[in-house]
Amino acid sequence: MVKALDLKLMRDLWRMRGQVMAIALVLAAASATFVLSLGVHLSLTETRDAYYAQSAFADIFVDLTRAPRSIVTRVADIPGVRRAEGSIRQYATLVLPERSAPARALINALDDRGSTVLNRLTLRAGRLPDRDRPGEVVADEAFVKANGFALGARLDAVIYGRKQPLTIVGVGLSPDYIYSIAPGDLIPDNSRFGIFWMSEKALEAATGRSGAINRITLTVERGASEAEIIRRLDLLLAPYGGTGAYGRADHISHAFLDNELMQLEAMTRVIPPVFLIVSTFLVYIVLGRLIRTERTLIGLIKAFGYPDRAIAWHYLKFALVTALVATLIGSLAGIWMGRGMTSLYAEYYRFPILRYHISPAVFVGAAILAAGSAGLGALGGMRAAVQLSPAVAMAPPPPPVYRSGAVERIGRLAGLSVIGHMILRHIARWPARSAMTIFGVALSMGLLFATMQFLDSSRAMLDSYFFRSQRHDLIVTFTEPRGPDAVFALAQLPGVLRFEATRAIAVKLHSENRTERTAIEAAPARSQLLAHIDRNGREISLPPAGLMLSRQLADQLGVRAGDTLDLEMLGGRRTQLRMPVATIVDEFVGARAYASEATLDRIARDAAPVGAALLRIDPAARESILNALKGMPAVLGVTERDAALRLFERMIDDNLFTMLFFYIGFASAITVGVVYNSARILFSERAHELATLRVLGYHRREVALILLGELALLVVAAVPVGCLIGYWMAQLMTAMFSSDLFRLPFAPARSTYGYAILVVLAAAMATAALVARRVLGLDMIRVLKARE
């Protein structure tokens, strides 16, 4: 049998279904964001961890020039090392007849069984290479799909200066290439860079490394010191050209994936609290109004013997039912959006299986957040209901008293009409509620602006990096460091307008107890093809002596301009010296170090070989230049600035526009919830007043203007507050979404404020129009006969 209070609760919920759904919509947005971000985060994390464990992803990596295989045994004897493996990796140039630009590949060796101990290959299609057929390879899935290859496809590769035909006999994946990116690139270009696996015997023959290796990977025991193992490893491998061991945190594939997970965590921390705050205010306002209109009924219920506890529980259940509806809607929406986001991630991060799966704990967490927010908002109304005594509750409330004050004087000075005075007077009578309406609408606009400005930040970063900093058209990378003659040969190609040589050396930088592994990059003095641009758009020149560090690297090392660093060169002469930090540049991409050519020569103490060349070309000669570069054995790869820019823009469009679609809906949900509840409360409070004005001869439109004018004034007042909230929220989100790999500038365009305002105003107008229909259809007789 349904209890009387429960029956009343069901009737109240049905009678106020519009307001309940408006509140539930805001709470559902919080639940959807929570389920979306946490669900995708858990899906990626669990998939990654399971894949790493299944494929024995290594903990530490180190590249060498050349070492005997026997060195692996000595590495395995280092205390804390669980398992070590030596192998061969070799970059190669691919000759794709249908493409003018040369493509690159990184070829990995497979042992006689067609496998590896660590970083094991997962075969997706086809078979493993036959050790007695040197041209057979397994290609990574992304490269095969991007180029439209099938099993049995043939292509030519230049490996170690020699041309060799390859046949794709299998398609595979590996945990160390979940995010496969070519050296020097910012994002994957799967059509121009692929990962291949070849039999060890064939790769040894192709590279002349019979019985030798150039890469070691290893796993460590639980509780072992990774830093100490790396230190011992570097000492052991220094005579073999070791370029410095590094852990998973610095592995490029893992680092990009970890950066994505960090951004999902930031989304979970920043976005849901906005919706929860607004929904708390909405529940507080709606329940407060409900209890004020039911004060006589509450008195009767208490007179019949219902305890305060039962009445408080009754109104709390109103809030909890709303939270339950919100959790159901939000969970379904979050699952739908999570699947869409996961499918986007699957295009960039390659797992054998990446599905959006979510644990019951996420739904429980979303329900707790929604219930907690709604329950907190219900506390004020519950306390008011409990404190009412039966005698006071059954007496009619005292009528409002309006006195001439500041509001009246402002209205007279402004020359307001009678309707204008009524609007201002009612706002002044309920200042707290009016402030909550303004704050709620402002939060929705702030959230929308903070999300939309990511487009401006991304465009500003792209403009700084691809146009102001990179003034070249092509970067030509050599198979190995070359003399100046190689660069001059490129300059002779018809259509090359300007050329500049560049190089980089791998180093470790030490500052007290902090160590960072990086590369020092150098370019000619007064370079016209490469510039260093800081966050403020200023061009920073390379110092004649000392190092220039990016702000990110300087913060990681804890140094400022004027401090000194201990520098250890990795490979080559293994130079060790102290270097001053001459300049710090606040740029957007990576944690990087720069030096002049003279400074780099002092560090390397070699013949200054050239690692790459920057070219500015005549666009009309692009095809002929790329074809010529493709035929040069010394050229490993070519990076086109415009092609990289297009890839970056496509990635931004895929990710940011999807997120914008979601957050425009979320921000609109807040506006709808706030404006609809405010309008319904205003209508219920002023229905008698509005009906009286109709009897006195006021037109329907004039009566509707009283209600809509008050809403419009509150929404307009929320615009400057929303701009201010959006400004600070955008700065917070920009800082939280920045990482070691990318740092977004805070560079909102004025039009973004306009778009945010337009979306909020459109949502407010559409919501107000729903309530205006009630005013226009007001039943004067029923309203005037009702007891005030």
**Position 426 confidence tier, pLDDT thresholds 50, 70, 90:** low
Same domain, 700 and 787: yes
Same domain, 44 and 55: yes
Q: Say how far apart CA 394 and CA 424 lie, in whole Å.
A: 31
- Report the predicted TM-score, pTM, of the whole model to 2 decimal places: 0.78
pLDDT digits (tens, 9 = 90+) for 570-582: 876 777 888 898 8
Residue 486 domain-assigned?
A: no
Residue 69 domain-assigned?
A: yes
Q: Which residue has the higher pLDDT, 4 or 106?
A: 106
Residue 488 domain-assigned?
A: no
| Average pLDDT of the residues in 207-211 | 83
Residue 739 domain-assigned?
A: yes
Total domain count for the chain?
4
Q: Say how far apart CA 105 and CA 89 lie, in whole Å.
A: 10
Same domain, 335 and 444: no
Predicted confidence (pLDDT) at residue 233 exceeds the cutoff of 60: yes
pLDDT digits (tens, 9 = 90+) for 286-318: 777 667 666 677 777 777 777 878 888 877 888
pLDDT, position 61? 94
pLDDT digits (tens, 9 = 90+) for 617-627: 888 888 888 88
Residue 334 domain-assigned?
A: yes
Q: Of 27-31, 217-221, 278-282, 720-724, which has the strongest mean pLDDT?
A: 217-221
Predicted confidence (pLDDT) at residue 672 exceeds the cutoff of 80: no
pLDDT digits (tens, 9 = 90+) for 758-783: 888 887 787 777 766 666 555 545 54
Q: Say how far apart CA 454 and CA 746 lie, in whole Å.
A: 8
Domain boundary pick from 351, 375, 397: 397
Domain that holds residue 323: 1-59+253-397
Q: Are 184 and 638 in contact (CB under 8 A)?
A: no
pLDDT digits (tens, 9 = 90+) for 537-569: 788 888 888 888 888 888 888 888 888 988 888
Residue 417 domain-assigned?
A: no
Same domain, 183 and 36: no
Q: Say how far apart CA 414 and CA 707 lie, in whole Å.
A: 20
| Average pLDDT of the residues in 469-488 | 80
Predicted confidence (pLDDT) at residue 207 exceeds the cutoff of 50: yes
Same domain, 86 and 157: yes
Same domain, 552 and 687: no
Domain boundary pick from 230, 252, 274: 252
**Position 788 confidence tier, pLDDT thresholds 50, 70, 90:** very low
Q: Report the candidate in 227, 270, 219 with the shortest Cα–Cα distance to residue 451.
A: 270
Q: Say how far apart CA 303 and CA 291 lie, in whole Å.
A: 16
Q: Which residue has the higher pLDDT, 252 or 591?
A: 252
Question: Percentage of the chain surpassing pLDDT 70?
Answer: 87
Same domain, 572 and 661: no
Count CA atoms closer than 13 A to 558's CA, side-chain side. Answer: 7
Q: Are 179 and 108 in contact (CB under 8 A)?
A: no
pLDDT, position 783? 47
Same domain, 270 and 241: no
pLDDT, position 407? 57
Same domain, 54 and 70: no
Same domain, 212 and 301: no
Q: Which alpha helices (DSSP H) does 605-640 contain, by range?
A: 622-630
- Least confident piece of the model among 176-190, 349-363, 669-683: 669-683
pLDDT, position 402? 56
Predicted confidence (pLDDT) at residue 112 exceeds the cutoff of 90: no
Residue 756 domain-assigned?
A: yes
Same domain, 213 and 86: yes
Residue 547 domain-assigned?
A: yes
Q: Say how far apart CA 311 and CA 308 lie, in whole Å.
A: 5
Domain boundary pick from 354, 375, 397: 397
Computed over every residue of the chain, the mean pLDDT equals 80
Strands 576-585 and 496-511 come out as unpaired
Q: Report the candidate in 275, 277, 177, 328 with the shortest Cα–Cα distance to residue 662.
A: 275
Q: Which residue has the higher pLDDT, 118 or 604?
A: 118
pLDDT digits (tens, 9 = 90+) for 684-718: 666 666 666 666 666 666 666 777 777 778 888 88
Same domain, 115 and 55: no
Question: Percentage of the chain surpassing pLDDT 90?
Answer: 8
Q: Of 320-334, 370-384, 730-744, which has the strongest mean pLDDT?
A: 320-334
| Average pLDDT of the residues in 233-239 | 88
> CATH number for the domain including 599?
2.40.40
